[in-house]
């Protein structure tokens, strides 16, 4: 009986329940959008259900890898991710790139499915940053300003290639997700505030200066930094959502109307009086707000909070430094997606084309998030205290 209880405790049912609820919300919202509102085919919610089944299988496989095994294969996975990002620039889906403006998708001709390699490459990127910080902390047990600068240099070194490749794909939204992952791991790594504060101030000045130049001298940004018109339109729409409601601001203003018209409890499943472009993906929150109102939107946010809380709790329970940085990367990935997607739907943040985790249509994003969940689940499943030995880049462990 004791072994059975111990085996059961290795599965984190709080995380499973949260993801299951998000899956139900996503499939119901996609059914409402594609079948009831748009009067289209049921193919979209069925395909999303299939992607969920595949995602669960992938997460289950990843869960079987303990931190020692992940440590060993991190380097191989990182360079495999870089290779995938590079190949995307060569074999990207041309017709889709013309429509979306991004070279982020590869199409598999036989099964006619497109996938976004940058979604999968997030996981190796998180693993590499986590391993780098763990190695550094062992080598520099006495933290100094110099050692912290060395750590930042290492993290930036591992970030340059994925950042450059994704920016070359013309995908600013995904680049921001990678930046959020980097920032989260840097903050947890223990880098001193006397270093982080000046960097934060510089970045703030650059961001504020860029917005100022967009408003008053965008020609300089075009010539000096290669900014494109669609990027200016996104900032214009963010600063003044109602400046051109028939063109560039049409999508976001329609989302405002849909969410606002839902009021407190919503109009009901499949009931919509407002047309919202790309409602099944980037603007899925507009469907939730219109169908289920403020209460439905708030419940969705609460489920995300429960999911993140359970992921953080696993880190404290397992006490594994390498896992702690991995969890930080996964949590930052999911939280940034949630904040950006909901934020752009309600006008707080610029539109960047970032999907809502576990809810929006899209197999690549869903699989990428499920891979992250698999990493978190592996912490509880193995439940060992691994310590980096510093000898031959290895761990030694003691079962709890």
Q: DSSP letters of 155-213?
A: HHHHHHHHHHHHHHTT-HHHHHHHHHHHHHHHHHTT--HHHHHHHHHHHHHHHHHHHHH
Q: What pLDDT score was predicted for residue 390?
A: 55
Spatial distance between the Cα atoms of 210 and 90, rounded to a whole number of angstroms: 31
CA-based angle 147:150:154, to the nearest 5? 140
Residues of the chain above pLDDT 70, percent: 92
Tell me which range, 101-110, 325-334, 347-356, is most confidently predicted by mean pLDDT: 325-334
Task: Judge whether residue 103 has pLDDT over 80.
Answer: yes
* Top-confidence residue, 319 or 29: 29
Task: Judge whether residue 122 has pLDDT over 90.
Answer: yes
SS3 label, residue 392: coil
Task: Judge whether residue 297 has pLDDT over 50.
Answer: yes
CB atoms within 10 A of CB 76: 10
Q: What pLDDT score was predicted for residue 386?
A: 52
Banded pLDDT at 71 (limits 50, 70, 90): very high
Q: What is the pTM of this model?
A: 0.90
Task: Judge whether residue 398 has pLDDT over 50.
Answer: no
Can you tell me the mean pLDDT for 263-280? 90
Query: Which of 316, 318, 309 has the alpha carbon at shortest distance from 66?
Result: 318
What contacts 203, CB < 8 A, 6 or more positions away?
A: none
Task: Judge whether residue 65 has pLDDT over 50.
Answer: yes
Q: What pLDDT score was predicted for residue 164?
A: 95
Q: Please provide residue 2's backbone torsions phi and psi, each rounded to the nearest 5 degrees.
A: -65, -45
* Top-confidence residue, 168 or 107: 168
Can you tell me the mean pLDDT for 219-238? 79
């Amino acid at each position: 009986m004791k072994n059975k209880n111990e085996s059961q405790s290795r599965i984190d049912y709080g995380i499973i329940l949260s993801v299951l609820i998000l899956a139900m919300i996503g499939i119901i919202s996609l059914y409402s959008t594609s079948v009831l509102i748009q009067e289209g085919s049921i193919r979209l919610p069925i395909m999303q259900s299939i992607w969920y089944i595949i995602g669960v299988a992938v997460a289950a496989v990843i869960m079987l890898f303990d931190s020692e095994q992940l440590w060993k294969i991190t380097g191989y996975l990182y360079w495999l991710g870089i290779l995938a990002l590079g190949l995307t620039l060569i074999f990207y889906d041309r017709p889709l790139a013309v429509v979306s403006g991004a070279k982020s998708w590869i199409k598999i001709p036989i099964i006619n499915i497109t996938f976004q390699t940058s979604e999968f490459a997030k996981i190796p990127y998180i693993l590499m940053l986590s391993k780098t910080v763990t190695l550094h902390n062992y080598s520099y047990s006495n933290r100094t300003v110099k050692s912290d600068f060395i750590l930042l240099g290492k993290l930036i070194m591992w970030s340059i290639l994925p950042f450059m490749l994704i920016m070359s794909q013309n995908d600013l939204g995904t680049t921001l997700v990678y930046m959020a992952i980097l920032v989260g791991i840097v903050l947890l790594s223990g880098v001193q505030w006397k270093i982080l504060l000046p960097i934060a101030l510089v970045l703030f000045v650059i961001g504020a200066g860029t917005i100022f130049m967009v408003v008053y001298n965008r020609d300089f940004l075009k010539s000096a930094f290669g900014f494109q018109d669609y990027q200016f339109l996104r900032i214009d729409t963010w600063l003044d959502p109602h400046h051109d409601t028939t063109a560039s601001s049409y999508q976001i203003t329609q989302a405002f109307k849909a969410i606002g018209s839902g009021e407190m409890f919503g109009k009901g499943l499949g009931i919509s009086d407002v047309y919202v472009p790309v409602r099944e993906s980037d603007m899925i929150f507009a469907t939730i707000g219109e169908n289920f109102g403020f209460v439905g939107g708030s419940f969705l946010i609460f489920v995300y909070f429960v999911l993140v809380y359970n992921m953080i709790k696993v880190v404290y329970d397992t006490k594994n430094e390498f896992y702690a940085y991995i969890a930080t990367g996964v949590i930052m990935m999911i939280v940034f997606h949630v904040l950006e997607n909901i934020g752009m739907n309600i006008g707080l943040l610029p539109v960047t084309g970032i999907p809502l985790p576990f809810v929006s249509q899209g197999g690549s994003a869903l699989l990428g998030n499920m891979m992250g969940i698999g990493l978190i689940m592996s912490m509880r499943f193995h439940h060992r205290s691994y310590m980096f030995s510093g000898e031959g880049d290895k761990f030694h462990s003691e079962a709890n």
